[in-house]
Structure 1
Amino acid sequence: MSVTPAVDAGHDPRTGERRAGLAHTTPDELAAILDRAVQAAPVVAGTAPATRAAWLDAVADGLEAHADELVAIADAETALGSPRLPGELAKAAAQARFYGSVAAEGSFVDARIDTAGGPAGVDLRRARRPVGPVAVFGASNFPFGFGVAGHDTCSALAAGCPVVVKAHPAHPELSGRLAQVVADALTSAGAPEGAFALVVGFDSGLALVDADQVAAVGFTGSQTGGMALVERAAARPRPIPVYAEMGTVNPAVVTRAGAAGRAEDIACGFVESFTLGAGQFCTKPGLLLVPAGSEIGARVADLVAERDGAHALTQGIAAAYATGRSDLEAAGARVLADGRTPGAGNAVQAVLAQVDAKALTPGSRLLEECFGPLALVVEYASDDQRDQLLTTLQPSLAAAVASGGEGDTEVACVVELLSHQVGRVVVDGWPTGVAGTWAQHHGGPWPATSRPDATSVGAAALDRFTRPVAYQDVPASALPPELTDDNPWGLPRRMDGRLQQSGDSDSDGGGGSRGGAA
């Protein structure tokens, strides 16, 4: 008797209409994918970083070449529309090129050589090596930026690791098409078979985390999903790291000078930020702290009442948003304003609620994220109360400070307090934009992430998928390319404590008694 294969089927958020499905990966198919990834791992790791950069350039070119088609599919499955989706695709292409440039620059390898003539009396060579195949679980709310061809995938490939991506059930058709674009681009650029693959289905995702062949997991999504993967990976006979970016309530603090001089600007900026993308950002500012007597809360309420409704990505997110609102009201939140609602599909409306400062106590539901366009406003009566509230909040990915400009004496104190609670502090801006640059950190203490030392955006994202290895008195023939004296990849290295940029001669400290690698 034939069995109809299980599928992930997308739905149009505007209407709820079911769309084409993507068949689940069978156990045999998954086994073959993992075998190919294992076979590709030493090839990918042994490929010069500059060549990996060319692979990622090809991926970026492929995204841009198919932009119209990909955006149309994404809009049908996410309702995120224009200009959001075209802009996100363009950024995804740019980030692929960026991670390639980080690989080619080479400092992420952190190559260090101490010659036998140094203080230790032995030849020691250390570098960060690729960990092997990486499993990636993308996000529903960023189908390009944190999806099949997103930050995790591109940074892992740049670091020298094969990638197996689990398709997101919120946009399966897009996941499948993106995977084909990425696979074709990598093949055309000369990447080995097995460097990249897609799997589909809940069980396939669990099997990825369990698989001996997988060395690390990248995840972007809910705290429930992220911690489930963390616990599953920890229960393996050989546990592996899960780099889960989950998000919480990101606070925005208005100083007294800010409230006095920039109330309208702050109110408008806050509403734009917390309702952006129907509030479905892990960096959404969900809590606004304002000085008592400020008119900012009332002004935000007026703006929210005029806000058009939007569509949640999935029916499940819309239902969880409604439950979250009810839970917050039950915990003491008083609704100040409801926005408009589109009234069909996965419809959600913006909500502003007010909470008494004394209600923000450890363990309260008021301190937990409500994923969607809902925010709380809280008044603080004194600087001491403000500071106490900041230390009570859950750690977050990011926080914002709305100041009175240069000379605002409150800023330094607030920034210092927040720096112990979050991964990124923004002054006179909003946290919902995350630039993929060398200095970026997109992470934070638990429960914002599972690994506070890691970032999922920026040059340091490659570090997640490498680990340091030291080689003592190893002959040149057995060293990886990044640690041989001739430095064939042209990487920057630290020789006997002195940093040498790529292309510098190693002749002043690279030779030794073991065939040039002593």
Structure 2
Amino acid sequence: MTITGEMLIGARSHRGSDGEFRAVDPATGAELEPAFGGGGVAEVERACALAWAAFDAFRETGLEARAAFLETIAANILDLGDALILRAMAESGLPRPRLEGERGRTVGQLRLFAQTVREGGWLEARIDPAQPERKPLPRPDVRQRHIPLGPVAVFGASNFPLAFSVAGGDTASALAAGCPVVVKGHSAHPGTSELVGRAIQAAVASCGLPEGVFSLLFGVGNPIGTALVTDPRIKAVGFTGSRGGGLALMAAAARRPDRLARRRPCPDGGGGPPARADPGLCGDEQHQSGLPDAGGAGRAGGGAGQGLRGLVDHGRRPVLHQPRHPAGYRRAGPRPFRGRRGGGAGRQRRFDHADPGHPRRL
């Protein structure tokens, strides 16, 4: 497969005109061909419009069809063969065994999510049948099920060109849940990203899904990332990268008039804790008739069962919440009320609130 330097917006390839960049071989410092055209606000608008248009149809796909889609992506990535590994080696400087192992992890994540989707237990569907004869008032038929939030923006990591990038855990969990994905590829490995992006694009077409289920964008500088997280059609963001980059995106998201489900920034070097979905987002939405498809996007590195419970709509706007940081990590954003110091009851009150709209303790 030839690397063209183009973005993938739905079913089409598009050459960006907002700046130009090339990947660099870290071993030699040499620039690699081809040059990639950066996208801007217009490309974000088009990708988000396609994702939003695809959302209703994609969320209604059956579990078997969605699982087959994930398995098709995994097979297409393997079919890229040595070309993917060689390009990733040239762009990252990582050795072949490391990248072959990362490819195996990437494919394994996709297949694990496919297995979890088929099992269906993560939906946690509940049915309370009608009781028309109940006194003093009859009870209607009430049904409850996890449903997807909407299109998800995913930012690729610099040091994991496969497992935390275009087809990494964030993308796999979002697609498994029924959420279209718009990926912002990392400029450190654009050729690797394009190869994997074309594997996903081909899977979308072969499985007969709407073209807006997946798009891959590239960009020079911060405007394209800011445009993604501030677009009202993006309902969740998966980010793995520097603390500064993560905080900048969080600040942009905080200016939205609506709330955005988001994942806290993880250090790009991989030394920090994995990003986690907040169980406070795992509520339900009730319906008097019919049940839409359900799901959510979750953990970045693994845990398919956890991933499918992360970002779901439960009848109110998603909650902004930062999980507790271990020693050595400062909390990003305002700190919640702590309660009294020292006692267990005070620590419990810090996270547990009477209002169900507040996040629950992890």
With normalisation by structure 2, the TM-score equals 0.71
Matches within 5 A, 1:172-187: 172-187=190-205
Q: Is 2:144 the partner of 1:126?
A: yes
Larger RCO (CA under 8 A, 6+ residues apart): 2
CA distance in 2, matches of 1:227, 1:168: 17
Q: Once the two structures are superposed, what CA deviation does each residue of 1:112-155 show, in whole Å capped at 9, x if it has no partner?
A: 12223399944322111111111001211111101101101111
1:66 counterpart letter in structure 2 = L
Q: Is 2:103 the partner of 1:83?
A: no
The answer (yes or no) to whether the contact 1:8–1:23 under 8 Å persists in 2 is yes
Change in Cα spacing, 1:101 to 1:245, as seen in structure 2 (3 Å) is farther
Tell me the residue number matched to 1:13. 26
- Equivalent pairs counted in the alignment come to 275
Q: How far is the alpha carbon of 1:4 from its aligned partner?
A: 6.4
| Identical-pair percentage | 37
Matches within 5 A, 1:63-142: 63-117=77-131, 121-142=139-160
CA distance in 2, matches of 1:98, 1:245: 24
The answer (yes or no) to whether the contact 1:11–1:170 under 8 Å persists in 2 is yes
Tell me the residue number matched to 1:253. none
1:205 counterpart letter in structure 2 = G
Q: 1:59 aligns with which of 51, 73, 97?
A: 73
The answer (yes or no) to whether the contact 1:217–1:243 under 8 Å persists in 2 is yes
RMSD of aligned C-alpha atoms? 2.4
Tell me the residue number matched to 1:458. 303
CA distance in 1, matches of 2:123, 2:315: 11
The answer (yes or no) to whether the contact 1:99–1:155 under 8 Å persists in 2 is yes
The answer (yes or no) to whether the contact 1:126–1:468 under 8 Å persists in 2 is no
Q: 1:209 aligns with which of 216, 219, 229?
A: 229
CA distance in 1, matches of 2:224, 2:192: 18
The answer (yes or no) to whether the contact 2:170–2:299 under 8 Å persists in 1 is no
Matches within 5 A, 1:304-383: none
Secondary structure of the 2:96 match is coil
The answer (yes or no) to whether the contact 1:443–1:452 under 8 Å persists in 2 is no
Change in Cα spacing, 1:4 to 1:27, as seen in structure 2 (3 Å) is closer
Tell me the residue number matched to 1:35. 49
Tell me the residue number matched to 2:7. none
Structure 1 or 2: more strand by fraction: 1
The answer (yes or no) to whether the contact 2:169–2:299 under 8 Å persists in 1 is no
Tell me the residue number matched to 2:328. none
CA distance in 1, matches of 2:48, 2:18: 21
CA distance in 1, matches of 2:260, 2:147: 16
The answer (yes or no) to whether the contact 1:130–1:160 under 8 Å persists in 2 is yes
Q: How far is the alpha carbon of 1:222 from its aligned partner?
A: 1.8
CA distance in 2, matches of 1:10, 1:184: 24
In structure 2, stretches of 5+ residues that fail to align are: 1-15, 281-297, 317-362
The answer (yes or no) to whether the contact 2:106–2:168 under 8 Å persists in 1 is yes
The answer (yes or no) to whether the contact 1:244–1:451 under 8 Å persists in 2 is no
Tell me the residue number matched to 2:358. none
Q: Once the two structures are superposed, what CA deviation does each residue of 1:417-454 show, in whole Å capped at 9, x if it has no partner?
A: xxxxxxxxxxxxxxxxxxxxxxxxx446xxxxx95876
Secondary structure of the 1:83 match is helix
Which of the two has higher C-alpha Rg? 1
CA distance in 2, matches of 1:64, 1:170: 22
Tell me the residue number matched to 1:373. none
Secondary structure of the 1:463 match is coil
CA distance in 2, matches of 1:16, 1:207: 31
CA distance in 1, matches of 2:254, 2:45: 22
Matches within 5 A, 1:119-518: 121-201=139-219, 202-247=222-267, 281-282=269-270, 284=271, 397=273, 442-443=274-275, 455-456=299-300, 457-459=302-304, 460-469=306-315
The answer (yes or no) to whether the contact 1:223–1:246 under 8 Å persists in 2 is yes
The answer (yes or no) to whether the contact 1:54–1:100 under 8 Å persists in 2 is yes
CA distance in 2, matches of 1:466, 1:85: 33
Tell me the residue number matched to 2:345. none
Q: 1:45 aligns with which of 52, 59, 68?
A: 59
CA distance in 1, matches of 2:18, 2:89: 26
In structure 1, stretches of 5+ residues that fail to align are: 248-279, 285-395, 398-441, 445-449, 471-518
